[in-house]
Amino acid sequence: MDLRKDATNSTKELNDALKDPAVLNWDDKQDFENASKGFIASMEEPIIRDADGKVVWDMTQYGFLDAQDAPATAHPSLWRNARLNMEHGLFKVTDHIYQVRGHDLSVISFIETDNGYIVVDPLVSAETAKASLDLLYKHVKERPVVAVIYTHSHVDHFGGVKGVASVEDVENGKIKIIASEGFMEEAVSENIMAGTAMSRRATYMYGNLLPKDEKGGIDGGLGKSTSNGSISVIAPTDIIKETGTKMNIDGVEIIFQFTPGTEAPTEMNFYFPQMKALCMAENCTHTLHNLYTLRGAQVRDANAWSRYIDETIDLFGADAEMIFASHHWPTWGKEECIDFLKKQRDMYKYLHDETLRLANHGATMHEIAEMIELPDELSKAWYNRGYYGSVNHNVKAVYNKYLGYFDGNPATLHQLPPEEASVKYVEFMGGAQSVLKKAKENFEKGEYRWVAQVVNHVVFAEPDNEEAKNLQADTLEQLGYQSESGPWRNFYLSGAKELREGVVNVSAPNTASEDMFAAMNTEMIFDAFAIAFNGTKARGKEWSFNFIFSDTGEKYTHVIENGVLHSYKDRSVNDVDATLTLTRTQLNALMFKQSSVFSLIEKGNITLEGDQESFKEFMGLFDQYDFWFNIVTP
């Protein structure tokens, strides 16, 4: 039974008002022309499966977006963006440059060289990347991949690499893998160190669990959603460390611009002078991007982001005749490119400067987020709309980057945790029934933000209160229907679904893949090892253990004291408690939970010498993460 509700009158009125041409320029159809320009062909059936036949990507489920007019259950501007992201297939961008769009959250680009192709950003999954390459081969020409460029360290820009390149060809020098300095460290930090929490929250952000229809998932803002195939990575062979670096790859010249601290901790734009084509990675796309992403990541530097776009204009603006990126559709024409770059530049600078100006007047993070709006000359440009980021949470990101989470008021310095505070709130407000009675009155008035805030206390004070959970679900649903940001909509609607149905364990992308562990150096693996170590349970324990790798010759010593696990390479420790001898491949399998260390010891595949009981106790102190932890309930 479908428990979802229709849009209320308040939501209908709000969304209808946005259709007024005085609010947004609905007559501007240039994006629709650009999104379809250069179309060559699409898959006969735009469904991509893995080797076992499991569907990892399906564009057919979005057929309802053929309707031009937005329903009452969707923000009209987000509906417009969702329809633009329906343009899928193979496109010719300019001479020698092709893109496949609509095969994943991101866009894969192919640059024709003298004898092959350079692949730019091979999507999330190997299956979607391979399907994209096959589509190019079918309608253009089958030639070898000679290089892969990762524009930055987010998984939708490298995860599908094994769909277009093999480790063997990379090791044999047939294919270059090009990335910016720090790529592997940042990719690991984002996808492994906090990978479980981030991936779980990403199921909300990208609407992975939502049905695809007018009341559910319509778009992710950057693209439809994330694919659910095999996530891979191949370590870079060539590292870009500074702006102005030039490469010639099989007859194609590339000039790189290193832009660390922008949309990702390490990222780069690059220019193809022969084609007069500028790749902006994910630094300029057709949306206000995230300075903080709701799935969780490091806060981004709006000021640096703006300055690097300004540098891009200085470096390439006089020559570039078209811009493409790894999301959305390209921009053509010198004047159009410059206007696009300038307004994206100024959008991030405006949010940065205004946030700090108001902070220096004493306004707090939440106050400033309600005070700032982009000026019309920026906000009415369709590519500056908040389909992915939002002014509200980006302002909070700027504040947090400079001043942290604390607003300076000592009353908020040491607040009670949510469950304990919620019990007190509900008690002070006269009990759950009193709160719900008043909240329903506010709901009827369309005051959804307040209802969500206050009913959340009842849900956390009384997690079995079905009336509270249902009212909270109804409220989050209306907020989702009103959201211009794809991630906001998906978070609200995912929360509503979970309140009504509970946590449902289904297949969802998890970036902590076997390939990620294999590509990490051993020091990175042991950093992740230490994060999973339960320091609370380890109090009072003092041990030391050697890990010797028979294939690589590496030796690490783990020292446990004061509830902390330290890993040391090639450091001698007298009288270790035990020594484990294994291969690096076996360590990868252990980290990916394909094997148990004790089963491998019993089989004789690895050896353990010394105090086996202490080692067994040590190995029992590592947490196993539950991916499907609660979000909207305690």
- Every domain of the chain and the residues it spans: 9-402, 521-619
Residue 572's pLDDT band, with cuts at 50, 70 and 90, is confident
Question: What would the pLDDT profile of 6-34 be if each residue is shown by its tens digit?
Answer: 999 999 999 999 999 999 999 999 999 99
Question: What would the pLDDT profile of 82-101 be if each residue is shown by its tens digit?
Answer: 999 999 999 999 999 999 99
Tokens 């989050």 locate to: 476
Residue 507's pLDDT band, with cuts at 50, 70 and 90, is low
Question: What would the pLDDT profile of 453-502 be if each residue is shown by its tens digit?
Answer: 999 999 999 999 999 999 999 999 999 999 999 999 999 999 999 999 99
Residue 594's pLDDT band, with cuts at 50, 70 and 90, is low
pLDDT of 52: 95
Question: What would the pLDDT profile of 161-180 be if each residue is shown by its tens digit?
Answer: 999 999 999 999 999 999 99
Written as one string, the DSSP assignment of 276-288 is: TEEE-TTTS-SS-
Q: Does domain 521-619 have CATH number 1.10.150.120?
A: no
Q: Which residue has the higher pLDDT, 575 or 223?
A: 223
Kind of pairing between the strands at 578-582 and 543-549: parallel
This prediction's pTM: 0.95
From CA 297, how far away is CA 264, in angstroms rounded? 9
Written as one string, the DSSP assignment of 202-233 is: HHHHTTTTS-SSTTS----SSSS----S----
Give CA separation, 444 vs 16, 450, 468, in Å.
18, 12, 15
Lowest-confidence pick of 526-535, 566-575, 594-603: 594-603
CA angle 122–123–124, rounded 5-degree value: 130
510 pLDDT higher than 70 = no
Residue 373's pLDDT band, with cuts at 50, 70 and 90, is very high
Give the residues across from 622 on adjacent strands.
533
User: Where on the phi/psi map is residue 200: left (φ > 0), alpha (ψ -120 to 50), or beta?
Assistant: alpha
CATH of domain 9-402: 3.60.15.30
Collapsing DSSP to helix, strand or coil, 454 comes out as helix
Is 521-619 the same fold as 9-402? no
509 pLDDT higher than 60 = no
Structure tokens at 200: 């779980």
CA atoms within 13 A on the CB side of 121: 31
Question: What would the pLDDT profile of 283-333 be if each residue is shown by its tens digit?
Answer: 999 999 999 999 998 899 999 999 999 999 999 999 999 999 999 999 999
118 pLDDT higher than 90 = yes
Average pLDDT of the chain is 95
Percentage of the chain beyond pLDDT 90 is 89
- Which residue type sits at 602? E
